[in-house]
Each structure stands twice: as structure tokens, then as C-alpha cells.
Amino acid sequence: MITLPYGIADFRRIRREGMAYVDRTAYISRIERLGSALVFLRPRRFGKSLWLQTLANYYDLRRAEEFAPLFGDLAIGRSPTPLANHFFILQWNFSVIDPGGGVGQIAESLREHVSSSVKELVSDYEGRLPAEVDTAGSTAAILASLLSVVRRTPHRLYLLIDEYDNFVNEVMARDVDTYRALVRTDGPFKLLFKAVKSAMEGKGLERVFITGVSPVALNDLTSGFNIAQDVSLEPELAGLCGFGESEIRGLLEQIAQEQDLASAAVEDAAATMRTWYNGYRFTKSAGSRDALVYNPTNVLYFLNHLHRQGVPPEQLYDENLRTDHGKLAFLARTAAGAGVIEELTEGDGEIAIPRLETSFSLESLLTQLQHDRSSIASLLYFMGLLTLTDVPGRLRIPNLVVKKLFLDRLLEIYLPAPGDSSAAREIALRFFQSGDLAPLLAFFEKKLLPVLSNRDRGGLNEMAVKTLFLSILFDDTRYVVSSELELERSYADLCLLVRPEMRRHGYLDFLFELKLVRRRDLGRSGQELREMDTEALRQLPAVARALTEAREQASRYDAAFRRQHGEALNLRSFAVVTVGLERILGEEVGGSLDETR
């Protein structure tokens, strides 16, 4: 029976207990060739910690007798490098550093972590170290004491640092002055990395591998650790963290066999994961092998639920990733950040920038966040909220999990008043079961159109209106939501298809065709449009044409959608026209006119 390692980053446990493991060990030899001091950046919960544990077990001299059971049937086991089981392993995990308090408290927390990790090393290698190690001094002194003992052995030290930027990023967000003190020339963080650099100058520290999320803290440490090479965008490491399509298919087939799932259910699961989790690209090389990868945390979350219960989870994203929403909210409070979020959600989900910024200092970031969209977009890339495309200088939203984060944030930008976002969700929930369009359009006209109208400088288009509709109606628990869904070589603006396991609750399927009539095409002022009764508004030539066009298109899409999905559908289709960003009209295709709108 397959056991999925959801939430487990212990390579040795995964292998000893026979859990499912997607082999990444072929990358070990590539890593060796790239250099001896490497930095590897990926978004949160993307498998970085498991990779470090893979390295730890491969290079640990204590694991020589376990090499065959741990690695024998893996790629590196069939062709090991000369450095296998060659090092003492020292591991630092900076996520355990307490970021609270002032510089002195943080420095002591850092010192205690370094001290305890060295004590753990001494215990692990009992009998292999020829002298005692002093763990009572400063971080630099502790490291120097350890290396003075290591140099008296035939082996050298490999240092693995996980989440190097974890606690400093928290400090940065909370207290800029404290952050500056940590990374200044005599600050505890920079002093530690100076000691690491010195240790690599023939003093017993032979290799360092560092993981993190963003390059901000790394740039502020440059003078302290300027020997590290950032390999995050190396084409040969593009698939190191994350799952490929074929790897997920293999796991799905094992689960399907154990759960006796129908082939249709397997295909539905594969399609759902492809839409929601795939799309990350971590190399600029077009056409690179294994270029697109899935978010591994969400994949294992989905597969774990499917394996245990035989059906996909109702909520399609892992709550452990929700902290990304807070980071997006922080960026949205800056002028450039709000503009980037609106551009991404109201456009095609892509943004063009001069280049991906890979080097930030705090000072430059604090300045650029207010006006530089390129820096904002680059920071979103490192957070995992945008990804590379095969077009240089172009980033895009990778998948629906991230698009949902953007849509949620967009709704909060447009509906900042307390309770408005909740009211929108409640109206949507009632609409899902009743199909009554009037309350939805009334809310849209009262709360959202005034915001759109105030922001319009003549550049808003149907996509902006459609995105706001999508932000209100997007519900991954109940629906498969599609924007620009292809139906017989045409594209429907917005479709909500009830998820199979939710049909028993009586939810309706929906299809929308959305049109925008600009005020300049009406020859009327905003005040005139707001005061005009609904029937008179419908009779305006431009509005009548838009309604007719929307009605005809919605009718065609309705028929195609029914042919595509069969009798299971309980479909309601609507033609909706926004008039001059002042009013909104709608009618059901094949049903009676919605006279209230």
C-alpha cells in the first residue's frame, strides 16, 4: 500500500518506512559540479527541507553502512560520486530562531541555535572527534572550535542551512531598524556569515548549501558571504523541487489501483491538479526539459485526501500556504503593488518587466516598493505568486491556487469597508442555489461599479468587469470555475461547473456572457445613466446591440456546454451588460427578462 509523505521532510524515515519517494538524487552530482558554496531559492513549502535532508544522508559519514537501503535503488545509488559518506554534517535551521525582541535577544537566540546544533553534531559523531568542542562562546568561536577538531580527522565539514532568511524576513516586516542592526557590519547575522566564509578558506569547512525564499537578506549579507553562488535559476536545477506531470501520473495510478477508482475519476483528478497546482517555471531557458512543475505541498495534500477517502478534497489548496495572502496584502498597500495586482487580475494574468530582479537590498526595496512595478513583480516571483514564462521579461500567475489569492486580494482592494467582502460571499452563496441574478447585479452596481468608475481613465475593458465578477463568484469548494472556456472553437466569458461530489447539494451550473458599453458610445453623462429607468436604458441603441450580441453568444455557448456535459447539468445562462460603468443589466437566456435590472 502506498504511503504518501505529506508534511514529512525526513528523507531517512521516508526511505526506511517505504513511503512514496519521487527520486531527485540525480541532482546530487549536478550540485557538486556547480560549486562548493551554493544558494538555492524556492517559494515556501516547495520541498527544500527534504532536499537538504537528502544531501545530509548522502554525504554523512555515519550513513556509509546504510547507503544501499537509502540510495541503492535510486539514481545516485547506481552511480555514486566519490564524496558520498565523506563529511561531518552540520545543520542549521533558521526557522527556529525567535525573531521577537531586540537585537540582543535575537543574537542570543541565534547563538543558542548554533551552539545546540554543534552539541548535536558532537553527540552524533561520538568517538569520531579526537577532542572536545567548546560550545560556550560566540557563534564564530563555536564554529572555529568545531573546525579545529574536525581538521584533526581525515574528514571535512558540510554545512547545510535551511530557511536562511526566515527569521530576518520576519524581523524586516516587523522592525526595519532591528533588521538593519542584524545585518550591519558588526551585526550578529553578518558576523556569523563572515565566520562561515572564513571557515571555507582551508579551515575545514569544505561545502555549504543554503536554502531560502528571497534574495533580500542575502544581498544585505554580500560583504559577509560574497563567495556564495546563487543557482536558483540554473536550467539543470529547474526540476529539483516540485513534481512533474509524469511523476504525478505515477502516484495517481497507484492510488487508483488501491482505491479501485474509475479511469474517468483519475482523469478528472489529473485535470484538477494540472489546473490548480501546475505551472511553475524556474528557468529562463525556453523549452527546457522538466520546465513546468507542480507545487508539491498542494499535490500531496490532494493525493493524501484522495488516497484516504477516495474523492478529492473539497478545498483545493493547503491552508498551510495561506500566509502568502498576508504577504500579498502587504504589497497591495503600496501604490505599485496595488497596480500590479490589478494589472495581473484584470488582464491576462501576465506582466512584462525589463528583467527579473534577483538582487534586492532592504534599502532599495523600501524605495522601489512605492513605485517600481518591476521590483514588485520580481518579489512576487520569489514568493511563488508569479512564475517565469518562456518569453524573457514576462511573468505570469502560475495556477488557480495563486489566482484565487489574487482575486481575494482584488476584492479586498475594491471592497475595503468592513463586511462588504463577506456580504459579497453571502450573495454569491444564495445565487449558487437560487439562480436569482437580481441581488448579485444590485450589489455589483451599488458597491463595485462606483469604484471602477472612479478608477477609469478610459482604459478599462470587459476583462476588468469580468475579473470582478470572477472575484465574487470564484468558489473552489463547490465549482470548477473557468474563464474564457473553449466551447466548440469559441470562448465563453465565465463558466461555473458544479464539482461532481457537490451536485447532491443542489447547486446550479452557470454560464455568463459579459459585455461593456462605454459611456462615450452612449452620449450620456454618468448622472443621466444613473437616473434612467431600466427599460429606457435597454432601449439605448448601443445597449440594445450589446444585449442582443450577449444573448446570441450566451445561447450558442449554452447549447455547446450542454452537449459537452450532458444531462448532469442544471445550467442557467445569462447575458450581462455593464453600461458606462454606472449601471448593469442582465437577463437569463431562454428564460424571462430580469425586470429588476
pLDDT in tens, 50-71: 999 999 999 999 999 999 999 9
State the pTM of this model: 0.90
Contact 545, 577 (CB under 8 A): no
Contact 296, 47 (CB under 8 A): yes
Asked if residue 4 is part of any domain, the answer here is no
Strand partners of residue 512:
494, 574
Choosing from 414, 443, 470, the residue where a domain stops is: 414
Output the CA angle 182-187-191, nearest 5 degrees.
Answer: 120
Taking alpha carbons only, the member of 20, 28, 16 closest to residue 3 is: 20
Fill in the DSSP letter of residue 399.
Answer: S
CA 297 to centroid of chain Cα atoms? 10
Cell of 490: 469559441
Tell how strand 509-517 and strand 490-498 pair up. Answer: antiparallel
- Shared-domain flag, residues 219 and 350: no
At 184, which CATH number?
Answer: 3.40.50
Contact 530, 592 (CB under 8 A): no
Asked if residue 410 is part of any domain, the answer here is yes
- Shared-domain flag, residues 141 and 273: no
Contact 355, 317 (CB under 8 A): no
Q: Which domain holds residue 253?
A: 245-311
- Shared-domain flag, residues 213 and 68: yes
* Length of the chain in terms of residues written: 597
Asked if residue 419 is part of any domain, the answer here is no
Choosing from 414, 448, 476, the residue where a domain stops is: 414
- Shared-domain flag, residues 194 and 84: yes
Contact 84, 68 (CB under 8 A): no
- Shared-domain flag, residues 305 and 334: no
Asked if residue 332 is part of any domain, the answer here is yes
Quote the CA–CA distance of 101 and 120 in Å, as a whole number: 26
- Shared-domain flag, residues 145 and 59: yes
Choosing from 234, 263, 295, the residue where a domain stops is: 234
Quote the CA–CA distance of 235 and 348 in Å, as a whole number: 26
Asked if residue 316 is part of any domain, the answer here is no
How many C-beta atoms lie closer than 10 Å to residue 126's C-beta? Answer: 7
Contact 137, 108 (CB under 8 A): no
Angle at which helix 176-183 crosses helix 166-174, to 10 degrees, equals 140
Cell of 100: 521577537
Quote the CA–CA distance of 495 and 213 in Å, as a whole number: 35
Q: What DSSP letter does each residue of 360-373 carry, written as one string? A: --HHHHHHHTTT-H
Q: What is the pLDDT along the chain (597 residues), one digit of tens a residue?
A: 899 999 999 999 999 999 999 999 999 999 999 999 999 999 999 999 999 999 999 999 999 999 999 999 999 999 999 999 999 999 999 999 999 889 999 999 999 999 999 999 999 999 999 999 999 999 999 999 999 999 999 999 999 999 998 888 888 878 888 888 888 878 898 899 999 999 999 999 999 999 999 888 787 776 667 888 999 999 999 999 999 999 999 999 999 999 999 998 999 899 999 989 999 999 987 555 557 999 999 999 999 999 999 999 988 888 776 666 677 777 777 778 888 988 898 778 999 999 998 887 777 777 776 778 888 899 999 999 999 998 889 999 999 999 998 998 888 888 888 889 899 999 999 999 999 999 999 999 999 998 887 766 555 678 888 888 999 999 988 998 888 777 767 788 899 999 888 899 999 999 999 999 998 889 898 899 999 999 999 999 999 999 999 999 999 999 999 988 887 899 999 999 999 889 999 999 964 334 335
Q: What DSSP letter does each residue of 333-356 carry, written as one string? A: TSHHHHHHHHHHHHTTSEEE-SS-
CA distances from 49 to 7, 45, 46, 160, 163 (A): 11, 8, 8, 10, 8
Taking alpha carbons only, the member of 282, 289, 294, 285 closest to residue 244 is: 294
Instruction: Quote the number of domains for the chain.
Output: 4
